[in-house]
A and B are shown apart, each in its own frame.
Chain A
Amino acid sequence: MPTGTHRLRPTHELHRRRFSRNLGVGVLLVAFIALVFGLTIAKVQSGGTIQAYDHTFRPALLPQDD
């Protein structure tokens, strides 16, 4: 290997900017997913007549008349 060689691919300012952009978009996407997940949990928890295991009409879930 010859002495005094230079690194062929030094980190350029351009790469730093690109990295900051990629990192920012990545963090935002993860935050968005977390928010949608949290919203889903909140909606499911506050939905009084929702049951998880079927999708059919169930008369038992209708409000009862006095």
Chain B
Amino acid sequence: MTDIRADLHDTARPAEPGFGDYVVLLKPRVMSLVVFTALVGLLVAPVALHPIEAFAAVIFIALGAGASGALNMWWDADIDRVMRRTARRPIPAGKVEPGEALGLGLALSGIAVIMLGLATNLLAAALLAFTIFFYAVIYSMWLKRSTPQNIVIGGAAGAFPPMIGWAAATGSVGIEAWLMFALIFMWTPPHFWALALFMKDDYSNARVPMLTVTHGRRATRAHVLAYTVLLVPVALAAGFTAIGGPVYLAVALVMNALFLRGAWAIWRRTEAEAEADGYRTEKRVFRLSLYYLFLHFGALLAEAALRASGAYALTGFGG
């Protein structure tokens, strides 16, 4: 009798996951955007938190975003497996079991919400809980597979972090918080549809009703232009509130002009032209959209720094 068995290593079981595999489950790139926008929301607010409270607030908002990412990966494992862009995520790659992702997502959601409530206030915690629910349940489980407007409504989940940051500092939600929310909310559709235009077959293979699949690529190009036009007044409006100023307005004017020009170029192109140059314009506008958001929030931060330094008091600008 022997202990040696040929079937000792069951290859159907996921490999032993490393720490990094769990980090990937939390979508660190999305988390970095959440950290940035939440931090801006927190720092531009008229009430200053203790630095440690502010640090904790940003950490727990990011943790909540990561938790919703893990829940999204648990639910979407079947379509992630089919799409080229997502096939190497930990669950489809067989590194992490689905149940582990679910457990991690639920546990981190609870920790993030409770700790944010303890560190700051109940409103911020409630908004974070709603954001996680919105992304995991409303977007991932419901809208993503049922309507081509999935990106439009689901974009709200990504738009909440600056509002949560603002609520963490002030305990309320003002017009400025709503405008920061609206900026990301209106930015999300053209950003994702530009991506969908050049990630050609991914969404149709996965049977996700992306606008490119349900209404065709011409309609998607028109939608990119329409949403970019609607985005412009939202982006400019923030410049005329207490968080805006000349730096923000200058950045907003330039970036909105560039984004509009890009959306116009996408709308004018035919599919044949896009295929001929490998979707160069669509890829350029997608990249531009990332700079667009980063620079808008960076400008809001710059305005807050200028106000805090007293520079505006010297020039008599900005109240």
Q: Which residues of B contact A24 (CB under 8 A)?
A: 19, 22-23
Which of A18, A21, A25 has its CB near the most chain B CB atoms (within 10 A)?
A: A21
Which of A20, A39, A45, A46 has its CB near the most chain B CB atoms (within 10 A)?
A: A39
Chain A positions near chain B (C-beta within 8 angstroms) = 14, 16-18, 20-21, 23-25, 35, 38-39, 41-43, 45-46
> A46–B54 Cα gap in the complex (Å)?
14
Q: Which residues of B contact A45 (CB under 8 A)?
A: 50
Q: Which residue of B lies closest to A16 (CB)?
A: B18
Residues A23 and B119 in contact, CB atoms below 8 Å apart: no
Counting chain B residues whose Cβ lies within 8 A of the other chain, the interface size class is: 10 to 19
- The listed residue (B15, B20, B52, B56) touching A20 by CB distance below 8 A is B20
> A13–B118 Cα gap in the complex (Å)?
40
Q: Which residues of B contact A42 (CB under 8 A)?
A: 50-53
B59 within 8 A of A: yes
Residues B56 and A18 in contact, CB atoms below 8 Å apart: no
B10 within 8 A of A: no
Q: B293: shortest Cβ distance to chain A, in Å?
A: 28
> A20–B119 Cα gap in the complex (Å)?
30
> A3–B148 Cα gap in the complex (Å)?
70
> A43–B20 Cα gap in the complex (Å)?
33
Residues B56 and A25 in contact, CB atoms below 8 Å apart: no
Residues A25 and B16 in contact, CB atoms below 8 Å apart: no
- Per the 8 Å Cβ criterion, residues 76-95 of B in contact with A are none
- The listed residue (B18, B20, B52, B118) touching A38 by CB distance below 8 A is B52
Residues B18 and A35 in contact, CB atoms below 8 Å apart: no
Q: Which residues of A contact B22 (CB under 8 A)?
A: 21, 24
Interface 0/1 of B22-50, CB less than 8 Å to A = 11000000000000000000000000001
Interface 0/1 of B129-157, CB less than 8 Å to A = 00000000000000000000000000000
B246 within 8 A of A: no
